Amino acid sequence: MNLFLSTRSTANSQENHLTEFLAAALDSDRAFRDAYASVVLRNHADRRGWANVEIVGVTTQKSYPDTGCCPDLVLTLKAGQIVACEHKIEAPETLGGADPGGDPMRQLARYLQLPVDGVAYFRASWAPPAPAILEHPKYVRPQHREHFLWSDLHAALRIGTTDVAHWLTEGFEAIGYTLPHPTVGDLSDPDPEIRAANRQNFEKLWQRTRSTLGEQGWKVDTGSICELYLRAHRSSSAESIYISPLFRGLFVRITPRQESSIGEIQRRVGGVAKATGLPVEVASTSVIRAKGRQAVVDVTVSLTKLLEGSSTCDEIEQRLWSYVMPLVQAVDASDANQTAESSSVPGS
């Protein structure tokens, strides 16, 4: 019997349930503990000049008196460093305390004020913290993302040798906390289970693109698992940008704030599309929205052609990123910048 999966549905808090099993695995399984330290702490340790990342102490729900702070997991390293970890499934950071201006502070900001040497953040899906958190020297950040995903621990758990590590490995695979596989299946498969699995896998391949878009000021939401909705950029001339791999290939729809800019946006995006060397279609059209008919620019490329020759997840993520980012940037790019932006696109 897998005790992690069999007790998950009855737990009062799935976050706490996951934390306790993870702590048990770290405490009892040397192979997993060392692999976890390498995945989570090695980059931070190298930046801070720590020679050793061996974990010798594991505490859950540690309370720090007079702070209102209770990190989910606190790790003690052999050289004495302390790393606090905040664990979330999909919930946002909770508010508490107050900053110097009297405004409530989110958890990570409060934890960074604790007498610890690092703060790590885990989530089921991508939801980056504030820029001030990312820039803090104590924030433990993975190499190519703003925070850790539970899927980052799957490979480390598979190294584990104890029952707890095996339960968690099976649990992560059942829940979907796994890294993407390098095969893009049929995203419209008639079998609903296969379709959902393929779309969930493709969603994971957006991580680098989503992170960059967020850093550049876009609010990024998802739809039907593997679609991206970009909106609320303060300075872009686009009101919204919709990106989907579900319609005849990879489809991008740009909705300008002002209809008068449609021609200029089409010209700029068309220049980037041409530079890819791929069969990209760029066209202006109009669609019916709640507020009436609205002009848009549609960009479509064969997903097969775009990803042709990509054999690893990293290569697929890179192809998606290097195609989408120049298109988005072209909406507001000057002609001088446009050439430079298009130079990183496959086929250019």
DSSP 66: T
Same domain, 42 and 145: yes
DSSP 152: G
pLDDT of residue 341: 43
Mean pLDDT of 91-104: 77
Higher pLDDT, 346 or 12: 12
| Beta strands at 292-301 and 250-256: parallel, antiparallel or unpaired | antiparallel
Residue 23 lies in a domain: yes
Q: Where are the alpha helices (DSSP H) in 154-191?
A: 154-159, 163-175
Nearest to 104 by CA among 93, 115, 112, 114: 93
Higher pLDDT, 73 or 293: 73
Mean pLDDT of 104-112: 92
Q: pLDDT tens across 109-155, in order?
A: 999 999 999 999 999 988 889 899 999 999 999 987 899 999 999 99
278, 258 contact by CB (below 8 A): no
pLDDT of residue 334: 56
Q: pLDDT tens across 211-224, in order?
A: 899 888 999 988 87
Arithmetic mean of pLDDT over the chain: 90
Same domain, 198 and 126: no
- Alpha-carbon torsion 88, 90, 91, 92, what sign? positive
SS3 category, 84: strand
**In terms of residue numbers, what domain contains 131?**
3-171
Residue written as tokens 């490329």?
Answer: 301
Same domain, 221 and 148: no
Residue 181 lies in a domain: no
Q: 335-342 and 313-330 helices cross at what angle (nearest 10)?
A: 170
Residue 187 lies in a domain: no
pLDDT over threshold 50, residue 83: yes
pLDDT of residue 53: 94
Q: pLDDT tens across 185-208, in order?
A: 899 888 999 999 999 999 999 988
Same domain, 93 and 202: no
SS3 category, 207: helix
Instruction: Give percent of the chain above pLDDT 70.
Output: 94
Same domain, 155 and 216: no
pLDDT tier, 33 (very low <50, low <70, confident <90, very high otherwise): very high
Residue written as tokens 């086929």?
Answer: 347
Task: Give the residue from 138, 171, 204 where a domain finishes.
Answer: 171
pLDDT of residue 224: 79
Residue 287 lies in a domain: yes
Residue 251 lies in a domain: yes
Task: Give the residue from 119, 140, 171 where a domain finishes.
Answer: 171
Residue 185 lies in a domain: no
Q: What is the CATH number of the domain that holds 238?
A: 3.30.1460
Same domain, 119 and 240: no
pLDDT of residue 291: 82
Task: Give the residue from 136, 171, 206 where a domain finishes.
Answer: 171
pLDDT tier, 100 (very low <50, low <70, confident <90, very high otherwise): low
pTM of the model: 0.75
294, 284 contact by CB (below 8 A): no
Residue 178 lies in a domain: no
What number of CA atoms fall less than 13 Å from residue 253's CA on the CB side?
15
Same domain, 21 and 82: yes
13, 89 contact by CB (below 8 A): no
Of 75-84, 91-100, 198-207, 321-330, where does mean pLDDT reach its minimum? 91-100
Residue 215 lies in a domain: yes
pLDDT over threshold 60, residue 343: no
Q: pLDDT tens across 232-279, in order?
A: 898 899 999 999 998 778 999 999 999 999 999 999 999 999 999 999
Same domain, 145 and 198: no
DSSP 187: T
Any residues with CB less than 8 A from the CB of 66 and at least 6 apart, and which?
none
Same domain, 154 and 207: no
What number of CA atoms fall less than 13 Å from residue 207's CA on the CB side?
24
Q: How many domains does the chain have?
A: 2
pLDDT over threshold 80, residue 292: yes
pLDDT over threshold 60, residue 329: yes
pLDDT of residue 116: 97
Same domain, 291 and 320: yes
Contacts from 49-55 at CB under 8 Å and sequence distance 24+? 50/77, 50/79, 50/81, 51/79, 52/77, 52/78, 52/79, 53/77, 54/78, 55/26
Same domain, 109 and 199: no
Same domain, 164 and 228: no
pLDDT of residue 137: 96
Distance CA 260, CA 128 (A): 34
pLDDT of residue 125: 84
pLDDT of residue 98: 64
